[in-house]
């Protein structure tokens, strides 16, 4: 079970139980998890291609750059979107 699968199945339901207003945030994060999965598969394909040919790192660099950008965006959104919930008085 991957990190995002665990998060989607175990953490998200608890967050939604605590604050149903998080539904659009959780839905978006889950959609991003699918996108991250696809980007990781692209990195895997780029690694296989690099090992097979060892011609150039351009494809691999592009795939890793996309992964970096995607993860940073996801983490920034998730952190900003949930920070108000974690600071809520009933959680403190």
Name the residue ranges covered by the structural domains of the chain. 21-81
- Residue whose pair of structure tokens reads 């953490």 in the numeric block: 11
Phi then psi for 17, rounded to 5 degrees?
-65, -40
Residue 34: exposed, middle, or buried by beta-carbon count in 10 A (0-12, 13-18, 19+)? exposed
Prediction pTM value: 0.70
Beta carbons of 76 and 28 less than 8 angstroms apart: no
pLDDT tens digits for the chain (92 residues)?
455 666 777 778 888 888 888 889 888 888 988 899 999 999 999 999 999 987 788 999 999 999 999 999 888 877 766 565 554 444 44
């Amino acid at each position: 079970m991957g990190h995002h699968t665990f998060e989607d199945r175990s953490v998200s339901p608890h967050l939604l139980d605590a604050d149903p207003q998080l539904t659009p945030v959780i839905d978006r994060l889950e959609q991003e998890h699918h996108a991250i999965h696809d980007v990781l598969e692209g990195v895997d394909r780029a690694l296989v291609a690099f090992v097979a040919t060892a011609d150039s790192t351009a494809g691999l660099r592009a795939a890793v750059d996309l992964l970096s950008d995607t993860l940073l965006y996801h983490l920034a959104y998730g952190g900003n979107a949930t920070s108000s919930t974690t600071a809520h008085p009933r959680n403190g």
